[in-house]
Chain A
């Protein structure tokens, strides 16, 4: 299939793998974090680690929007959905995320009406078709999905819809990267930068990573060859003693990002003073809320939101996994108490979550896996 097969070519992969191996200094360990959950998914789905030398480790970062939603926010959404005449809508991945009193699926089984949508515009459509109901869109995601929520709000205002609102949980990627860089014991050598987020915000906002922390960052596409090439570019920077922001994903990401999308976000939303992240705790300025002009569409103002902070379950080490401090299998409850069908932590829910990806695709010693599959 065109535009896909070119980026999965085995010959090119082998050539890149040889390059990567040649760039590695013997005896040195390299740890690169792919920030975005989409990259994590690609790495596991295609078995990309088979092309990496053993001293290059990919650490799976916090860029899975579902994985960073704290339990309290899920509880808040369930509370809104429990109010009379409410239709809550959300992306499918969120349906199984556990709150302290169960997931959206459980809420539906108890009588709530929470529906899966593919876009906030679908949610707007439901609002138009159900004038007697109050339709709420649970908005999650990094800068990638924020513009579509903002556009939807502009449209809702344009149409004077009075039964549509947004429960805003949009988060920002840079404060999360900073939280990781500042966390004790951080041992990363560089970052594979998020392609879709950068298509919106552009490459400039990462300059501080390269400048202040001397870590290279390469914005990457989502096909396996994209990621291999990004790893090669990171290793080349290290070898040459450079730390720069580079763009591997030029075919989709202009250096300056998408000015129109940035303007739409700016028009509709503003930073929150602080926001709680699953496992990472509260990070200042790390999320967006609706501006005052959009108060009639702000579910946090329209509904009673409990806003109770719920401690992450004690056994759960999602935070350590998100920071890359431990591998998924090193978590105390990995695969026994916490599995994709009965997740304790959010990393086990979404297929972009580090734990779920490792459990579903990689739950095996890599060398043994390779040998068994080639036997």
Chain B
């Protein structure tokens, strides 16, 4: 067989429905990469199958008595709980707010569920809850219901938080990872990788010190500015677990298009780049908690960028690539060095428990 035949066969194998063959859950099932996809698609989607779930977007869009409601949930197990720029509390609010916001909806109400380990200091819990309260206020949402469970010492790691949230979609937009078309532009809203690198360094295992801090923030105002300036926006996704690379792969696959990124255009802070170089990780895969990837129509790229840059959260927004007709389902990168390569989905997680 020629290389071309083999590669075609490989692509066919990649398109096969994911199967869950593992006997036990391993950390890679939580990484946001391929193992997570297999778990979600082969187990959860199979069991709960319905058209709302099958979209596999960051939120479900429910049509309730004339209103379109965005509904989502997320759990937070970050370790350490406190890190430069934020803590598990901000993350729990902003993460759920952003999953609603990237649908174009306005986030309104959240729930909060706490799983606490016996012995967890109440002062730490006070700090976490205070930062949740202030994050909620900044994001314009209210926590209106909740739950608390305590487990024996050793059965959890301090504090886990689950939040769910709803918002109302009032704009006539239908944002979807399946909406990208050739000629569209790919935008990221700011420097990438800050959160993942911050948490990794905050664990203190690496003995690297740096000024970098988490980018955790509610993206609602930025999404709103973008949609005002570029009403034909196809898709917005917050680049959390798996980073920009994973989002681009999801878009390429869902839309059956190619994504070509220019490494030179991808904004990465010097501190994050330095840490990534030392650790041998690629910032494209490192999580952000206050950045999104947006696909906008080519003609609206300039106004979109201008609108994003008018807001402090979007100052570093850049067009980082474009959508092409092919090769479908593949993300290509023009490297800074002047070469080209594929950017694949992440396998396994170099940085577990970052959110």
Binds B, one of A41-49, A242-250, A307-315: A41-49
Q: Are B205 and A118 in contact (CB under 8 A)?
A: yes
Q: Please give the distance in Å from B4's CB to the nearest CB on chain A.
A: 6
| Among A45, A92, A327, A340, contact of B335 (Cβ-Cβ < 8 Å) | A45
Report Cα–Cα, A326/B319, bound state, in Å.
40
Digitize B271-302: 1 where CB-to-A-CB distance is under 8 Å, 0 elsewhere.
Answer: 00110010010100000000000000000000
**For the complex of A and B, 4 pairs with smallest distance between CB atoms:** A47-B339, A335-B10, A109-B24, A46-B337
Which A residues are in CB contact (< 8 Å) with B3?
A: 327, 329, 365
Tell me the chain B residues, 88-112 only, with Cβ under 8 Å from chain A: none
Report Cα–Cα, A48/B341, bound state, in Å.
9
Q: Please give the distance in Å from B192's CB to the nearest CB on chain A.
A: 15
Give the residue name and chain of the A residue nearest to B348 (CB).
Answer: A96
Report Cα–Cα, A113/B14, bound state, in Å.
33
Give the residue name and chain of the A residue nearest to B21 (CB).
Answer: A342
Known: A48-B339, A334-B10. 13 other contacts (CB 8 A): A1-B270, A1-B274, A46-B336, A47-B340, A50-B338, A96-B28, A118-B205, A335-B13, A341-B33, A360-B342, A360-B344, A370-B340, A372-B327
Q: Are A48 and B337 in contact (CB under 8 A)?
A: yes
Q: Are B338 and A10 in contact (CB under 8 A)?
A: yes
| Among A1, A336, A342, A369, contact of B340 (Cβ-Cβ < 8 Å) | A369
Q: A100 on the interface (CB 8 Å rule)?
A: no
Report Cα–Cα, A359/B350, bound state, in Å.
18
Tell me the chain A residues, 1-38 only, with Cβ under 8 Å from chain B: 1, 4, 8, 10, 13-14
Q: Are A363 and B340 in contact (CB under 8 A)?
A: no
Q: B247 on the interface (CB 8 Å rule)?
A: no
Q: Are B341 and A369 in contact (CB under 8 A)?
A: yes
Tell me the chain A residues, 63-120 only, with Cβ under 8 Å from chain B: 92, 95-96, 105-106, 108-110, 117-118
Given the interface contacts A1-B273, A45-B341, A372-B324, does A8 sit within 8 Å of B26 by beta carbon? no
Q: A267 on the interface (CB 8 Å rule)?
A: no
Tell me the chain B residues, 299-355 only, with Cβ under 8 Å from chain A: 324, 326-327, 330, 332-342, 344, 347-348, 350
Given the interface contacts A122-B205, A329-B6, A364-B327, does A359 sit within 8 Å of B13 by beta carbon? no
Q: Are B338 and A365 in contact (CB under 8 A)?
A: no
Q: A202 on the interface (CB 8 Å rule)?
A: no
Q: Are B340 and A224 in contact (CB under 8 A)?
A: no
Q: Secondary structure at chain A's binding surface: helix, strand, loop or mixed?
A: helix
Q: A361 on the interface (CB 8 Å rule)?
A: yes
Q: Are B342 and A224 in contact (CB under 8 A)?
A: no
Q: Please give the distance in Å from A318's CB to the nearest CB on chain B.
A: 17
Q: A373 on the interface (CB 8 Å rule)?
A: yes
Q: Please give the distance in Å from B35's CB to the nearest CB on chain A.
A: 6
Report Cα–Cα, A329/B26, bound state, in Å.
28
Chain A interface bracket (under 10, 10 to 19, 20 to 34, 35 or more): 35 or more
Q: Please give the distance in Å from B7's CB to the nearest CB on chain A.
A: 6
Give the residue name and chain of the A residue nearest to B9 (CB).
Answer: A336
Digitize A334-375: 1 where CB-to-B-CB distance is under 8 Å, 0 elsewhere.
Answer: 111001111000000001000000011111110011101111
Tell me the chain A residues, 258-316 only, with Cβ under 8 Å from chain B: none
Given the interface contacts A118-B206, A336-B13, does A365 sit within 8 Å of B4 by beta carbon? yes
Report Cα–Cα, A372/B22, bound state, in Å.
36
Give the residue name and chain of the B residue nearest to A41 (CB).
Answer: B280
Q: A51 on the interface (CB 8 Å rule)?
A: yes
Given the interface contacts A46-B335, A92-B350, A118-B205, does A373 sit within 8 Å of B340 by beta carbon? yes
Q: Please give the distance in Å from B137's CB to the nearest CB on chain A.
A: 38
| Among A13, A342, A369, contact of B338 (Cβ-Cβ < 8 Å) | A13
Q: Please give the distance in Å from A80's CB to the nearest CB on chain B.
A: 20
Which B residues are in CB contact (< 8 Å) with A92?
A: 350
Which A residues are in CB contact (< 8 Å) with B122?
A: none
Report Cα–Cα, A301/B268, bound state, in Å.
48
Q: Are A10 and B337 in contact (CB under 8 A)?
A: yes
Digitize B15-52: 1 where CB-to-A-CB distance is under 8 Å, 0 elsewhere.
Answer: 00000011111111000011100100000000000000
What are 27 A-B contacts defined by CB distance under 8 Å? A4-B273, A4-B277, A13-B338, A45-B282, A46-B335, A47-B333, A47-B334, A47-B340, A50-B338, A109-B23, A109-B25, A122-B205, A224-B339, A329-B10, A335-B9, A335-B14, A336-B10, A339-B13, A340-B348, A342-B21, A362-B341, A364-B342, A369-B340, A369-B342, A372-B260, A374-B334, A375-B324
Give the residue name and chain of the B residue nearest to A357 (CB).
Answer: B341
Q: Please give the distance in Å from A367's CB to the nearest CB on chain B.
A: 11
Q: B258 on the interface (CB 8 Å rule)?
A: yes
Which B residues are in CB contact (< 8 Å) with A341?
A: 28, 33-35, 38, 347-348
